[in-house]
Amino acid sequence: MNTIMTTICIILVAILAFNALYLFVFSIAGTFRQRPEGEKRAEPEPIKTLVLFPVYKEDEVILQSVKSFMRQKYTAEHFTVVVITDELKEETIALIKRYGASVCKLPLSDKRNKAKAINYLLAQNPGSFDNCIVMDADNLVDANFISAINEHFLYGAKVVQARRVAKNSVNNLSQLDTYSEIINNHIFRKGQRQLGFSSSLIGSGMAFEFELFKEVMHGMDVYSGFDKELELRLLERRVKIKYAEEILVYDEKVDNHQVFINQRRRWVYAQIHFLKANFFKAIYQLVFKGNFDYANKVFQFILLPRVMSIGFCAVMLVATAFISLKLFVAMLVISIMLMSALIIPVQSKLRTTAGLTAIADLPRAFANMVFATITSGKASKKFLHTPHNSR
C-alpha cells in the first residue's frame, strides 16, 4: 500500500513540477520590457478594417460596446463595425444601426457557436478589407484602438492580440478573475513573445489580416475553444501572433459563482479536447517540422488551471509530509516556484486591502474549478453562454 501511495505521489509531484517550472520560466521572461518587432514599412492608404461583434442575447452590454467603437479617431469610411446578432431584441438592433454599425442577423438555430456566427457573416461577402478585428459583446476600447492596432500591421504583423484588462471589480470573485487575466497576459502573451514564441489568443481584442482570417476560419465549427482552434490553425501555418501590451480592451470579469463554473466548464473541455486531438500531431510538428510554436501551444494544454495548481500544491505538501521527506522537500520547492510565478505579475495588486481580501475566496474558487473540470463534458455539444451585466 505504501509503495502504491508513494508512486501516486511521485506522479503528482512530477505533474506539478512541470506546471511550476513552465509558469516560472515564462513569468520571469515577462518581467523584461517588450522589444520592438520588425521595421515599419512606408505608410500606405488608410487600412480598411472590419470589426466583428458576435453577440448572443447581450442587449444589456452591446450598445455600450458599439458606442465605444464608433468613437474611434479613425477615418469613418475606412472601418466598418458589424454586430452578428443572435436573439437580440428589435429595439436593440435599431439602436445599433442608429449608432452607425451594421447588423447581420443569424438564422435561428440550436447549434450556435462563435465560429459558425463569424463564418455565416463571411459567407455574405461583407466587402473588401485589409484586416479584421474580433471583439466580445462586453468589450470597451479607447478612441485610438484601431489606429494602434493598425500600427502593428505597418510593422509587418499578420495577427495581433491586444491586452484585455478588467472593467469591473465588484467582489472577491471578479477580483480573482482579474488576477487570472493579468497572470495569463504576463505568462502566455508577454512572456511567450519575450522568448520568441507566439502570443496566445484570448478570444477577443484579436486582429488578423483579412484574407488570412477567412482562410483559417473556413470550415471551423467548435462549441468551446474558438480561440484555441484559431490559434492552432495559425501556428500550423507558422504565423506569428504578436502581443500589443499597450493596446487595452476592457472586459467584464465574472462575479457570479455559477457563471464562473459554466465558463470554466467550457474552457476545461476545450483544453482537454485540444490536448487529446493534437498531442501526437504536436510531437510530429516538433520532431519532423521543427514547429516549436505549435508544439509549445499543445504542451500548454497539459498545464492545470492556475487555481487548481495552487490547491493541489497545498494538498500535496500535507500528503508528502507523511510519506517521504524527499518528496516533501520537492513539493516545497515546487510550491515556492509556482507561487513566485503567479505573484510576480500581480504583486502590486496584492499590496491593497481589496487584493488581499480576494485571496480568501481561493478555496471556493478551487472547489468550483474542480467541479467545473469534473462536469466539463457538458460543454461538448452545447454552447454554454456567459452572460454579462451593464454597469
The DSSP letter of residue 173 is H
Looking at 225, 255, 285, which one is the last position of a domain? 255
Task: Note the pLDDT of residue 282.
Answer: 97
Q: Sorting pLDDT into bands at 50, 70 and 90, what band is 384?
A: low
Looking at 216, 231, 255, which one is the last position of a domain? 255
DSSP code string of 237-273: TT--EEEEEEEEEEEPPP--HHHHHHHHHHHHHHHHH
Strand partners, 56: 86
User: Do the beta carbons of residue 21 and residue 351 sit within 8 Å?
Assistant: no
User: Do the beta carbons of residue 390 and residue 235 sit within 8 Å?
Assistant: no
Claim to verify: residue 246 and residue 282 sit in the same structural domain: no
User: Do the beta carbons of residue 200 and residue 147 sit within 8 Å?
Assistant: no
Task: Note the pLDDT of residue 39.
Answer: 65
Claim to verify: residue 28 and residue 87 sit in the same structural domain: no
In a domain, 362, yes or no: yes
Highest mean pLDDT among 36-45, 56-65, 207-216: 207-216
Say what the pTM is. 0.91
Claim to verify: residue 71 and residue 158 sit in the same structural domain: yes
Claim to verify: residue 88 and residue 191 sit in the same structural domain: yes
Residue % of the chain over a pLDDT of 70:
94
Claim to verify: residue 140 and residue 12 sit in the same structural domain: no
In a domain, 38, yes or no: no
Taking only the tens place, the pLDDT of each residue in 186-208 is: 999 999 999 999 999 999 999 99
Claim to verify: residue 115 and residue 223 sit in the same structural domain: yes
Mean pLDDT for 6-18 is: 92
Taking only the tens place, the pLDDT of each residue in 166-190 is: 987 778 888 889 999 999 999 999 9
DSSP code string of 355-378: HHHHGGGHHHHHHHHHHHHHTGGG
In a domain, 391, yes or no: no
In a domain, 114, yes or no: yes
Claim to verify: residue 92 and residue 13 sit in the same structural domain: no
Give yes or no for residue 78 having a pLDDT over 70: yes
Give CA–CA dist 102/97, Å, rounded. Answer: 6
Claim to verify: residue 175 and residue 273 sit in the same structural domain: no
The DSSP letter of residue 166 is E
In a domain, 88, yes or no: yes
In a domain, 79, yes or no: yes
In a domain, 42, yes or no: no
Can you give the residue range of the structural domain that contains 286?
2-32+267-379
Dihedral sign, CA of 56, 61, 65, 67?
positive
Q: Sorting pLDDT into bands at 50, 70 and 90, what band is 40?
A: low
Claim to verify: residue 111 and residue 148 sit in the same structural domain: yes
β-pair type (159-166, 206-209): antiparallel
Task: Note the pLDDT of residue 44.
Answer: 64
Claim to verify: residue 202 and residue 276 sit in the same structural domain: no
Mean pLDDT for 106-111 is: 77
Give the burial string for 1-16 (b: 16+ CB within 10 Å, else e): eeeeeeeebbebbebb
Claim to verify: residue 288 and residue 225 sit in the same structural domain: no
Looking at 221, 255, 289, which one is the last position of a domain? 255
In a domain, 390, yes or no: no
Query: How far apart, in Å, do the first and last CA atoms of the chain sit?
Result: 56
Claim to verify: residue 234 and residue 91 sit in the same structural domain: yes
Q: What is the CATH number for 134? A: 3.90.550.10
Give the number of other Cβ atoms within 10 Å of residue 382's Cβ.
14
As given in the structure block, the three cell numbers for residue 359 are 485571496
As for how many domains the chain has, the answer is 2
Taking only the tens place, the pLDDT of each residue in 343-360 is: 999 988 777 777 778 888
